[in-house]
Structure 1
Amino acid sequence: MFDMTLADDDHGALPLLFGRVLDGEGGGRPLNWEEVQHWRPGVEGETLWIHLLRTHPGVAHWLEHTLGVSEPTAELLTSDSTRPRAFREGDALVATLRGINFNSGAEPEDMLSMQLWSDGKRVVTLRRLPLQTPRMACNDLDAGRGAVDAGALVTQLTEHLVDRMSHSIIDMNEVIDEMEDTPVDQDTDGLLDKIASIRRNCLALKRHMSPQHEALQAIANGAPAWFEQHDRREIAETIARLRRYLDDLDISKESAVVLQDDIRARAAANSQKTQYLLAIMAGIFLPLSFLTGLLGINVSDIPLAHEGDHGFWVICGLCVALLGLELAILRKLKWF
């Protein structure tokens, strides 16, 4: 057995981030690593929960030799294999779940993983990067309104993971609504870049969260007996909520596609309109340019060259008459 030291979430170099003993009434008392080492199941209604930094050396060894976790499962709980999954191992529940990364500078698609192991009397959660969900559950315990047993703690953690997903979906939908009201002539490239980013986020969230749906189904259907019926109902509600969020992701993605097509269509229409006006102006001024160029060449015996000032006005009159004729023809052709 090796030594670990109690640590807060702000001290990721130490393995024990926090620990609580659930009292069965919604509260929990903190404990340090030495107390964790000597804690044994026995007191009615008490459940141990420890949150560990899985990258710390020796965590896998401790899981194997203290908790009795099998070597493959201990490797899974401490590895970088973060695809959501859940399975039953004897009387223990093992799961890998994902949550939205709300750390500073992170993108929604930068998902964070949380590994979980529980035998009904002890719950071990592990993470590599800071994840807010365990801290939220811990705060609920400290406030006296947290989980009462291992099953309730597992359902609460999954609820927090799924609920926080809705914030990213709402934010993306708000951005889409704002862009729908933005005039297309204002930074079209910027709008298209934002839409492309939203589409990438939707695809990434869908790719990461779809396996989580399957993992929660596995918990609901195959959890050990200590995972009570009301816990299964809670998980079922979480699964239904996750299914709605996945549907909302599809709607957000389709809305982004429609908006992207609409912006491109309007931008193309504006471009065509501009080209159309340029073509009309070119059609009007090309004959005039030809006439003035023809009569302005520096050769002898140009018509009207010896008519004094009257020649200039005659040429101006011809240009005006030609302009009027062109406008009449364009009007008749309904070009404008």
Structure 2
Amino acid sequence: MSDSPQDAGFLHAFLLDGRGGGRRLTWSEAQNWQPSDGCLWLHMDYSAPLTRDWLRHHSQLDHLITDALLSEESRPRTVGVGDGLLMALRGVNKNPGADPEDMVSIRIWADDNRVITTLKRNLVSVNTLATRLEKGKGPHDSADLLISLTDQLILMMSDTVDDFEDQIAELETQTLTSENPTLKSELAALRRQTIAIKRYLAPKREAMNRLLVEKVSWLTPDHRMQLREVNDRLIRHIEDIDAVRERTAVAHEEVLSRISEQLNERMYVLSIIAAIFLPLGFFTGLLGVNLNGIPGSESPYAFIVFTAALILVVAVQFWLFKRRKWL
């Protein structure tokens, strides 16, 4: 945390001990760090004036690297610069009240002795990693820190992906067993979320693939094997999200099909009713005109006969409909 209000933007710094632990440094201690002291992890808010000033004038990094660490917009990527790595990744937003697709960007510079991460909004993955260092169960060096950070970012997606799968399972059940009037909108909302998440994860997969092939001396074959496992987990998440999106599309089509069937059934019933009353309306209208010569106008039994004739017409219609299997 900051030493004072003037240090706002300095989130934390750890000096790794090489055994899974780390000592928190103050801002003044982090400024005086030397490579001979050990591996440093410096985590900062890129929107703060202190961060911008230090990165531009005191970090001894190339201006292209500092511009990337301070960039407002960053697409997931991995770029090798000398014997270091410049990365931009995104993590699921676990902050209270946040939508899953509103992902948090983190920028990373890593070399053999130092890792600098910058972001603007809180990221649970980073806090988890800091807690592990305090408990002595964290990364040992820069490569291990980079692997642990990417692993945490992808691990945090597991809950979101599982939640998507639970939602689509529940909605599929409702599609078959209930008449939920909001089902169509809920499916559309879930599909929109999965599309948004996929749009962010696809570039992240490219960034991880690039990380696997970057030639830096401090990434050993064992490190690359661990990164490959992390990348495989990311690919599985992407495949699971694709599956959820396809299931929402199928469920949405099923809902539309059921709505269409219900509409057709109602239209069919209305058509049958109209067909029954069409001849009745014709006869009553014909005999209801106020003209001389209407048959039965002088007979006291005319109405009974006419009513019986209408009933006979309806009976004949029902017989025809049954015979043609329309009822």
Please indicate, yes or no, whether the TM-score normalized by the shorter chain is above 0.5.
Answer: yes
**Bigger CA drift: 258-267 or 167-176?**
167-176
- Residue in structure 1 matched with residue 278 of structure 2 by the alignment: 286
Q: Is 2:160 the counterpart of 1:163?
A: no
* 3-state secondary structure, aligned to 2:174: coil
- Counterpart CA distance in 1 for 2:283 and 2:171 is 49
Instruction: Calculate the TM-score normalised by the size of structure 1.
Output: 0.90
- Counterpart CA distance in 2 for 1:6 and 1:291 is 96
Output the amino acid matched with 1:334.
K
- Counterpart CA distance in 2 for 1:101 and 1:211 is 17
Q: Is 2:12 the counterpart of 1:15?
A: no
**Bigger CA drift: 132-141 or 59-68?**
59-68
- Residue in structure 2 matched with residue 133 of structure 1 by the alignment: 125
* 3-state secondary structure, aligned to 2:247: helix
Output the amino acid matched with 1:80.
E
Equivalent pair of 1:159/1:238 in contact (CA under 8 Å): yes
**Bigger CA drift: 278-287 or 60-69?**
60-69
- Following superposition of structure 1 onto structure 2, how do residues 168-247 of structure 1 map, counting pairs within 5 Å? 168-183=160-175, 186-188=179-181, 190-247=182-239
- Residue in structure 2 matched with residue 314 of structure 1 by the alignment: 305
Equivalent pair of 1:93/1:223 in contact (CA under 8 Å): no
Equivalent pair of 1:6/1:17 in contact (CA under 8 Å): no
Output the amino acid matched with 1:16.
F
Q: 1:223-279 deviations in whole A, cap 9, x for unaligned?
A: 521223322111110111111111122211211111111111121111111111110
Measured after TM superposition, the shift of residue 214 of structure 1 is: 1.6
- Counterpart CA distance in 2 for 1:161 and 1:69 is 25
Output the amino acid matched with 2:314.
L
* 3-state secondary structure, aligned to 1:123: strand
Q: 1:13-62 deviations in whole A, cap 9, x for unaligned?
A: 9211122222222222222111111222224xx42212100011242431
Q: Is 2:40 the counterpart of 1:40?
A: no
- Counterpart CA distance in 2 for 1:183 and 1:214 is 36
Equivalent pair of 2:109/2:116 in contact (CA under 8 Å): yes
| Residue 331 (structure 1) aligned to one of 319, 322, 326 | 322
Equivalent pair of 2:2/2:12 in contact (CA under 8 Å): no
Return closer, same or farther for 1:230/1:6 CA change in 2, 3 Å cut-off: farther
- Counterpart CA distance in 1 for 2:100 and 2:320 is 59
Output the amino acid matched with 1:5.
S
Equivalent pair of 2:175/2:183 in contact (CA under 8 Å): no
- Residue in structure 2 matched with residue 272 of structure 1 by the alignment: 264
Equivalent pair of 2:76/2:88 in contact (CA under 8 Å): yes
Equivalent pair of 1:6/1:15 in contact (CA under 8 Å): no
Residue identity (%): 32
Q: 1:286-328 deviations in whole A, cap 9, x for unaligned?
A: 11222223333344443223323x3332222111111100001
- Counterpart CA distance in 2 for 1:179 and 1:302 is 63
RMSD across aligned positions (CA) = 2.1
- Counterpart CA distance in 1 for 2:15 and 2:312 is 97
| Residue 24 (structure 1) aligned to one of 18, 23, 26 | 18
Measured after TM superposition, the shift of residue 156 of structure 1 is: 0.8
- Counterpart CA distance in 2 for 1:88 and 1:312 is 99
| Residue 142 (structure 1) aligned to one of 134, 137, 142 | 134
Structure 1: where are the runs of 5+ without partners? none
- Following superposition of structure 1 onto structure 2, how do residues 58-137 of structure 1 map, counting pairs within 5 Å? 58-137=50-129
| Residue 53 (structure 1) aligned to one of 38, 45, 48 | 45
Structure 2: where are the runs of 5+ without partners? none
Output the amino acid matched with 1:317.
A
**Bigger CA drift: 279-288 or 59-68?**
59-68
Measured after TM superposition, the shift of residue 194 of structure 1 is: 2.1
Q: Is 2:2 the counterpart of 1:5?
A: yes
Instruction: Calculate the TM-score normalised by the size of structure 2.
Output: 0.92
Q: 1:65-112 deviations in whole A, cap 9, x for unaligned?
A: 333110011001101231011122222221111111222333222221
Aligned residues: 325
Equivalent pair of 2:10/2:51 in contact (CA under 8 Å): no
- Counterpart CA distance in 2 for 1:299 and 1:21 is 109
